[in-house]
Amino acid sequence: MASEKDPHRQLGLARAADLILHLPLRFEDETRLTPFLQLRPGEVNQVEGVLTHKEQQRGARTQLLFEIEDASGHRLRIRLLHFRPNQAAALTPGVTVRAFGEVRAGLFGMEMVHPRYRVLRPSSPLPKTLTPVYPSVAALPQYRLRQAIEAELKGADLSDSLPEELRQRLGLPEFAATLRFLHQPPANADTALLELRQGPAWARLKFDELLAQQLSLQRARACRQHQHALALTDSEALCPRLLAALPFALTAAQARCLEEIRADLATPHPMHRLLQGDVGSGKTCVAAACTALAVGSGLQAAVMAPTELLAEQLYQKFRDWFTPLGVEVIWLSSAVRGKARSAALAALAEGRVAQIAVGTHALIQEDVAFARLGLVIVDEQHRFGVEQRLALRGKAETTLPHLLMMSATPIPRTLAMSYYADLAISSIDSLPPGRSPIETRVMSDARRPEVIARLAEFCAGGGQAYWVCPLIEESEKLDLKAAIDTHTEISAALPQLRIGLAHGKLKATEKAAVMAAFKAGEIHVLVATTVIEVGVDVPNASLMVIEHAERMGLAQLHQLRGRVGRGARASTCLLIYSHPIGQIARERLAIIRDSQDGFEIARHDLRLRGPGERLGARQSGQQLLRFADIEADAPMLEPAGHAAAELLRNHPDAVARHLDRWLPGGEARLYA
């Protein structure tokens, strides 16, 4: 196996066949020569002339200077800053030199400083195609990369993986012609269009890449239809009993999503569904109803959340809802140790004692075993890797459990059609009644004293507030106000108020005590880091101050803001920024200020940041799209999906060739 320091591997070229998809960043025109009289400072040109003079100029650094003369008798000076003795020896008067570089105005006329050059053999013709410039590393110079790619283009299998009829119907050029054009475009090609990755050739490669993604996802989805899971019938009618006991009725959107999930759970194949909904839309309630379907079918359910705070919030809700129905809920986290942990593990392994487990990553530790695991629920799924989800599903002894993933960050349509095409998606697209709108304002940190004064007035009227800081302690690298210092500052400024502090470095028991006191109204202001981003529900807290909001992403700001607006009181979110602030940061803050629609915010987030951060650990090392852009190339997504279905149905050999070309590392586990 090649070393990780191998330059080919650093460029993602694990095998020779990958070279054909290593495409140029830009092109240089070496197909023509510019007469010396037409040279202009600042322009990049190719010149050719006979060497008439050479000298070495001594100084702090020895330079090699030589002059060449073209057919018109005009001369150009060339200055080499770095050279080897054999290079100097080859540059003798009378040889013909061809050079490519930027022309500058020197003391003695026009000159090129350290251009690319070569001494010509007799009858060296000009190239007929543009010269590609590839992404590279220092250990792999351009000329070697060009030679390797040119050799591979001659010897590689460039046969088309698209059936001819399908290719023509889509109006796409042939694969071989596409690659040759992109690597070696003719002299008259539109380089601006090529470098912008536009035109028919680029459209073909982008389509092929999206097609490979769709083939992989559709195969993963079809594969699950051949796997076995236990159908959840809720023979004990636990789900209707749970819903009847809740102090509220499901919204129409919640009820619709529950029915979609119920239909999946009733099949003997493992469900693989994502439940998405904006902050506060009621996903937890739907998840609890799904859990009731599993327990009512005589099986167990496991609910995993990424942080202890979120997991504990879920545990408290599930315990409050299920305990009156005679269902035991077990809490499992790294903080549960000793006899308490042993008792919890025994209850899960025995099965008849505990039917529901709620916890953090502690649920996937080796000593955790379930007697009859039928349903796995993963909250904030983008924070977990594939291996972690597989580990939890692997706790089932015989058949695969059903998998329900949840996200409070809505997925834009283009993401759903591409990276999430293997999932069934249910969307809670409306909020429960009684949720008050949130006024969002953007303020400079110069108005900090005004904000603190408003905070005092607000809490004096019976309200509670969050004050969110991005760091726990001061950082020398980032001049951000830390939670600890802010807590000290506000406590000193407002001694009449009780100020709490919550951050990730607190012990679990301390954090739980602070959150319980805040929820009980014993704390007026909770100064916190982003640990409160998800899962915290305090209806009386209706003011949020977010410091250094310019440093946060749209999704995180929207999640944080969703902690307020949960009660009858009018709610406000103040976004405080520090100078200097960049244009993109200004745009983010304006988007949050002007919209409370999670789907609209998610669409802007995708546009500003791309899919990488939005996908989180879902891809588990998978290379994101190299050529296609799921927003700019969205019109290709649907045709790629249809083409994938057609190939899977009628052309299995073409599917194998296409995936081998585009996903040589295989598809396994990337979409679990």
Q: What is the CATH number of the domain that holds 531?
A: 3.40.50.300
Closest CA to 111 of 65, 159, 173: 65
Structure confidence at residue 621 (pLDDT): 36
What CA–CA distance (Å, rounded) separates 498 from 249? 36
| Cβ proximity of 181 and 201 under 8 Å | yes
Residue 600 lies in a domain: no
Cα angle value 284/288/290 (rounded, 5°): 115
| Cβ proximity of 500 and 527 under 8 Å | yes
413 pLDDT tier (thresholds 50, 70, 90): confident
What CA–CA distance (Å, rounded) separates 321 from 581? 46
Mean pLDDT of 244-254: 93
For residue range 628-637, list pLDDT tens digits in order. Answer: 988 889 899 9
Query: Pairing state of beta strands 329-332 and 272-277?
Result: unpaired
Last residue of one domain, picked from the residues 545, 563, 595 = 595
Q: Collect all residues with Cβ–Cβ distance below 8 Å to 484 and sequence separation of at least 6.
A: 472, 473, 501, 503
For residue range 180-200, list pLDDT tens digits in order. Answer: 999 999 999 999 999 999 999
Same domain? For 539 and 394 the reply is no
420 pLDDT tier (thresholds 50, 70, 90): confident
What CA–CA distance (Å, rounded) separates 460 from 524? 9
DSSP three-state, residue 163: coil
Mean pLDDT of 571-596: 91
Mean pLDDT of 60-64: 89
What CA–CA distance (Å, rounded) separates 295 from 235? 9
On the question of pLDDT at 397 being above 50, the answer is yes
Same domain? For 327 and 443 the reply is no
DSSP three-state, residue 632: coil
Same domain? For 353 and 454 the reply is no
Last residue of one domain, picked from the residues 126, 151, 183 = 126
On the question of pLDDT at 619 being above 60, the answer is no
Percent of the chain with pLDDT over 70: 89
Same domain? For 245 and 321 the reply is yes
Task: Return the structure tokens found at 486.
Answer: 């802010």
Task: Return the structure tokens found at 539.
Answer: 């209806």
What CA–CA distance (Å, rounded) separates 306 from 618? 14
| Cβ proximity of 219 and 663 under 8 Å | no
Beta strands in 265-399 (DSSP E): 272-277, 300-304, 329-332, 356-359, 373-378
The single-letter code of the amino acid at 326 is G
What CA–CA distance (Å, rounded) separates 511 from 494? 22
pTM for the whole structure: 0.75
What CA–CA distance (Å, rounded) separates 423 from 418? 10
Residue 466 lies in a domain: yes
169 pLDDT tier (thresholds 50, 70, 90): very high
CA trace torsion 407, 408, 414, 420 (10° rounding): 0
347 pLDDT tier (thresholds 50, 70, 90): confident
369 pLDDT tier (thresholds 50, 70, 90): confident
What CA–CA distance (Å, rounded) separates 299 from 295? 5
Residue 215 lies in a domain: no
Omega of the bond leading into 580 within 30 degrees of 0 (cis):
yes
Q: How many CB atoms lie within 10 A of CB 301?
A: 29
Query: Mean pLDDT of all residues in the chain?
Result: 86
Question: Which one is predicted more confidently, 109 or 620?
Answer: 109
Last residue of one domain, picked from the residues 595, 619, 635 = 595
C-alpha Rg value of the chain to the nearest Å: 32
Residue 171 lies in a domain: no
The number of residues making up the chain comes to 672
| Cβ proximity of 93 and 52 under 8 Å | yes
Same domain? For 520 and 590 the reply is yes
Burial class (CB in 10 A: 0-12, 13-18, 19+), 380: buried
**Would you say the C-alpha torsion 441, 444, 449, 450 has a positive or negative sign?**
negative
Same domain? For 334 and 409 the reply is yes
Same domain? For 296 and 348 the reply is yes
Same domain? For 267 and 330 the reply is yes
Mean pLDDT of 329-353: 82
On the question of pLDDT at 615 being above 60, the answer is no
617 pLDDT tier (thresholds 50, 70, 90): very low
On the question of pLDDT at 251 being above 50, the answer is yes
Number of folded domains that form the chain? 3
On the question of pLDDT at 297 being above 50, the answer is yes
Structure confidence at residue 387 (pLDDT): 56
C-alpha dist (Å) from residue 61 to 81, 83, 87, 116: 8, 11, 16, 20
On the question of pLDDT at 277 being above 60, the answer is yes
Mean pLDDT of 537-549: 89
The position carrying tokens 């190239």 is 127
> Which strands form 464-468's sheet, in the order they lie side by side?
438-444, 571-577, 541-546, 464-468, 525-528, 499-502
On the question of pLDDT at 670 being above 80, the answer is no
Q: Collect all residues with Cβ–Cβ distance below 8 Å to 247 and sequence separation of at least 6.
A: none
CATH code (residue 116): 2.40.50.140
Same domain? For 385 and 447 the reply is no
Mean pLDDT of 10-23: 79
For residue range 429-485, list pLDDT tens digits in order. Answer: 887 776 777 899 999 999 999 999 999 999 999 999 999 987 655 554 555 567 888
What CA–CA distance (Å, rounded) separates 14 from 663? 12
Structure confidence at residue 513 (pLDDT): 87
112 pLDDT tier (thresholds 50, 70, 90): very high
Same domain? For 354 and 479 the reply is no
Strand partners, 443: 576
C-alpha dist (Å) from residue 672 to 190, 304, 396, 398: 43, 16, 15, 18
What CA–CA distance (Å, rounded) separates 9 from 136? 11
What CA–CA distance (Å, rounded) separates 672 from 664? 18
Structure confidence at residue 560 (pLDDT): 86
On the question of pLDDT at 591 being above 90, the answer is yes
Same domain? For 554 and 583 the reply is yes
Mean pLDDT of 157-173: 95
672 pLDDT tier (thresholds 50, 70, 90): very low
Percent of the chain with pLDDT over 90: 53
Q: How many CB atoms lie within 10 A of CB 344?
A: 21
**CA 486 to centroid of chain Cα atoms:** 32
Residue 555 lies in a domain: yes
On the question of pLDDT at 623 being above 80, the answer is no
Residue range of the domain that includes 290: 238-428
Residue 576 backbone phi and psi in degrees, to 5: -100, 130
Q: Which helix (H) or strand (E) holds 271?
A: none
Closest CA to 100 of 118, 75, 82: 118
Helix 200-224 to helix 637-650 angle (10° resolution) is: 60
On the question of pLDDT at 158 being above 90, the answer is yes
Question: Which one is predicted more confidently, 350 or 302?
Answer: 302
Residue 276 zone, left/alpha/beta (φ > 0; ψ -120 to 50; rest): beta
On the question of pLDDT at 65 being above 90, the answer is yes
Beta strands in 38-113 (DSSP E): 44-57, 63-69, 75-80, 96-106, 109-113
Residue 656 lies in a domain: no
Residue 654 lies in a domain: no
DSSP three-state, residue 100: strand
Residue 232 lies in a domain: no
Question: Which one is predicted more confidently, 156 or 286?
Answer: 286
On the question of pLDDT at 7 being above 60, the answer is yes
Mean pLDDT of 555-562: 85
Same domain? For 401 and 493 the reply is no
| Cβ proximity of 406 and 274 under 8 Å | yes
Q: How many CB atoms lie within 10 A of CB 6?
A: 15
Cα angle value 581/505/329 (rounded, 5°): 115
What CA–CA distance (Å, rounded) separates 605 from 277? 16
